[in-house]
Amino acid sequence: MLNRLFLWAVIVTLGSAASAAQHPAETLPDAPSSPLQTQSPAIQINPPDPSTANPTLTRQQAEQSAIKNNPNISVAVLLARAQTEHVRVTRSALFPDLNGDLTGVDAEEASRISTGSLTASRLLYHAGAGMEIDQLITDFGRTRNLIASSSFQAKAADQRSQATRDDIVLATDMAFYRALRAQATLKVAQSTVKARTDVSDQVSALTASKLKSTLDQSFAQVNLSQAQLFELDAQNEYDASIASLNELLGTTNDTHYQMIDDLSLPQPVAPTAEAVITLALQQRPDLLALADTHQADVRFAHAQRDQLLPTISGLGVVGLTPVGSKQYFIDNWYGAAGVNISIPIFNGFKFHAQAAEATIRANASGEQQRALVDQIVRDVRTAWLTAQSAQQRMSVAAQLLKQANLALDLATTRYQLGLSSIVELSQAQLQQTQAQIDNANARFEYEQDLAALRFESGSQP
């Protein structure tokens, strides 16, 4: 059945070509030329008309807006500040603990306490005011190690904040180039619909004049419908990419932008993959954060070990007792100073277990750091190869578009002269449309790959 249908289509097509050959070629209207045929091999994204309602947006502007407004960056910055305050909390153990007291007591004179934890002297009728001071003299390095651990954790939090910023910048770049690619695809789709509408109108006019068969008209209408479906898909992809971009920019508005691409290609990160790896191991904030975390774990393990050592503290108290029984409060002031040494003897091996746990966790974070180094080396090499391949694809895609434009010119001329069927013209149009899309995608994919390589090297703007 399919063979018979194909044979019938060939006979009708040859018959229409023979009928068209009987008429002078001069009487045939010119076949439409695609608006994209006059474009250069590389699709240029022209700046939008100033009168348009959509604001313009460059990659640099998108990055700055995301850094300023994205809530994930704000969360990372606030957490880093909170960790900085924790350093002050830990360091406070080195300073004196000074408290003031005001006490007034009306009690049964010289009675004794039978319950509770009050001292007997407080059951005497009196009023007094005083201060108590408690100063750590030494705990043989435990507090210093805790402070160092907190400081390294604060540095790690800063690096994690920078890593979050780099993640958002990379995601913004990717979303921007996806939107830019969707914008270029939408323009190709709109031009394709216009070109195929012109073809369909001309073929319909020729069919009405008995110069073309209804088969040509059907093919032209099918091609137009395909182009319209392509335009609908391109519009939906563009709208979805804009929604993703707005989320990264930290806005809930459905703002449609006119993306403007920098026509000059981005500069490579480094001349070789090994140079990029060197940069990554020096600059990657997630690796630096893990290194600081490992140092914090090591110092915390030392602090847990130091719990087994004595703690020496100085104590002091001074005050006045202006009101009170002279029998019990001979002077109206009091004061004392002393030194306390606390020596851990046995607590069920709690301190030993805590020290061992902290040491194991420190070793684990060291292994995590080594694993991240291996992962970074792999990711950098992969990103480098991907970027190199994308750069080569650009030249191939440009050559493909050039050949597709030439093929469409030839197919259009042959169809005008009645030397070919509309099938050949439709195929040439389809190839040109696909070549234009591939050419735009090749450039934007290369820019995406360079953005990914910048991220892997820790060289984000």
CATH value at residue 353: 1.20.1600.10
Is residue 223 assigned to a domain?
yes
3-class state of residue 340 by DSSP: strand
CA distances from 322 to 101, 121, 328 (A): 14, 15, 12
| E strands, 325-389, in order | 333-342
Is residue 317 assigned to a domain?
no
Q: How many domains does the chain have?
A: 1
Predicted confidence (pLDDT) per residue in 249-289, tens digit:
999 998 899 888 877 766 777 788 999 999 999 999 999 99
Count of beta carbons in the 10 Å neighbourhood of residue 311: 18
Residue 405 confidence (pLDDT) above 80: yes
> Could you give the CA distance from residue 51 to residue 56 in angstroms, rounded to a whole number?
11
Is residue 227 assigned to a domain?
yes
**Domain span at residue 84?**
14-95+139-309+344-457
Is residue 444 assigned to a domain?
yes
Lowest mean pLDDT among 224-228, 282-286, 328-332, 413-417: 328-332
pLDDT value at position 23? 37
Is residue 333 assigned to a domain?
no
pLDDT value at position 11? 36
Is residue 246 assigned to a domain?
yes
Predicted confidence (pLDDT) per residue in 20-48, tens digit:
333 333 332 333 333 333 333 333 334 44
Contact between 299 and 152 under an 8 Å Cβ cutoff? The reply is: yes
pLDDT value at position 16? 41
Query: Could you tell me which of 443, 446, 434, 440 has the C-alpha nearest to residue 405?
Result: 434
Q: pTM for the full model?
A: 0.78
Is residue 215 assigned to a domain?
yes
Is residue 214 assigned to a domain?
yes
Query: Could you tell me which of 222, 278, 266 has the C-alpha nearest to residue 458?
Result: 278
DSSP conformation class of 261: -
